[in-house]
Amino acid sequence: MAIPTVLLVTIIVFFFLRLVPGDVIDLMVLEHETVEDAEVLRAQIAEKLGLNDPVHVQYVNWVGGIFRGDLGRSLWTDRPVTQEIINRLPISFELGFLALLTALIIALPIGIYSAIRQDTYGDYVARSFAIASIALPSFWLATIVMVFPSIWWGWSPPMQLITFTEDPWGNLRMFIIPSFIMGMVLSGTTMRMTRTMMLEVLRQDYIRTAWSKGLRERTIVLRHALKNALIPVVTIIGLQMPIIIGGSVVLERIFNLPGIGWLLIDVINSRDYTVLSSVNLVMALFVLMINLLVDLAYSYLDPRVQYR
């Protein structure tokens, strides 16, 4: 089922973003050149985008390029788009990975606690935190983190990119705040899901059997209940992948991390439609791949699930 979806993804990108209407080019030209040069530039851009070919030829050429790993060249800087994206991927990956890790570190223990101590005050506090974290806008949290420590203690997060190979500790210090904010916003959904599934599993017969065997609570919760409760939680993590990638736009912008999200805003501002369509395409294919991996993780977590 993945292959038709890949084709449809390319079609969507092509028709919505790549197949730029002529008047958009006029707008680009007007923004950048004087009237005399405009005609020449317009022809150049049309040539570069292959706009003079029929639509289906354009599409086939473009998709053919994708399968060879060639996403074309930037309209303005003429640098290969593939290289541009590869350069920025590690930054976004690091941010997303740390955010996911933070989300799980917050969500799983609290979710489990809140399920095994259902309807206690601890449970209420945890649930209120989960719902509040879903409502908090990440750009606001990030702004608050930028403003208040700097007013109170004269401290502000590092704004110059430090690569991991240069200084691993400095690099981590730079990523920890944005990924913590993103992780906090993500953790709410995962926490609620963990709690609901744990509650469901803890009422099953085999858990009662485990209790009557005289097992310790910790063994029952961690070894018997958790693995089964985690199956739907894995889906939620898969479903959150697009949100993580999207969230990177906001946090990379605020914390000055030159990742994919930063690139997106850059190319939107410069109306670089070749890069814009490629960034969307690459991210959509990435999400598709993660969804496939999540499906595969099912059969590990739940041996009853088999793929025919």
Partner 1 sequence: MRIAAPSTSPEVKSKKRYLLVDLLIRLVREKPLGTVGGVIVLVLFFTGIFADFLAPYGMNEANLDTIMVLPSAQHWLGTDNLGRDMLSRIIYGARISMYVGLAGAALDVVVATLIGAISGFIGGKFDLIVQRFVDAWMCFPPLFIMLSIMALLGPGLLSVILVLGMLAGIGASRVVRSAVISIKSNAYVEAAEAIGCTKRQMLVRHILPNITAPIIIIFTVAMGGMILYEATLSFLGFGIPPPEPSWGGMLSGPGRYQMYSAPWMVIWPGFALAIVVYGINMFGDAARDILDPRLRGGLGRYAGAKRKKPKITEK
Of residues 136 through 155, those in contact with partner 1 by CB under 8 A are 136-137, 139-141, 143-144, 146-148, 150-151
What secondary structure does DSSP assign to 160-219, as a single string? Answer: S---TTT-HHHHHHHHHHHHHHHHHHHHHHHHHHHHHHHHHHHTSHHHHHHHHTT--HHH
Applying CB under 8 A, does 159 fall inside the site for partner 1?
A: no
Write b or e for each residue in 67-81: b if 16 or more Cβ atoms lie within 10 A of its Cβ, otherwise e.
eeeebbbbbeeeeeb
> In 203-272, which ranges are continuous DSSP H helix?
205-212, 217-219, 226-255, 260-269
Single out the segment in contact with partner 1 by CB under 8 A; choices: 12-20, 57-65, 113-121, 167-175. 12-20
- Rounded to whole angstroms, the Cα distance separating 73 from 84 reads 10
Of residues 246 through 275, those in contact with partner 1 by CB under 8 A are 246-247, 249-250, 253, 264-265, 268, 271
Site mask, partner 1, residues 166-205, x = CB under 8 A? ----------------------xx--xx-xxx--------
Single out the segment in contact with partner 1 by CB under 8 A; choices: 67-75, 167-175, 220-228, 235-243. 235-243
Q: Look at residue 76 and give its three-state secondary structure.
A: coil
The site for partner 1 (CB under 8 A) is made up of 1, 4-5, 8-9, 11-12, 16-17, 20, 24, 131-132, 134-137, 139-141, 143-144, 146-148, 150-151, 188-189, 192-193, 195-197, 232, 235-236, 238-239, 241-243, 245-247, 249-250, 253, 264-265, 268, 271, 276, 279-280, 283-285, 287-288, 291, 294-295, 298-299, 304-308
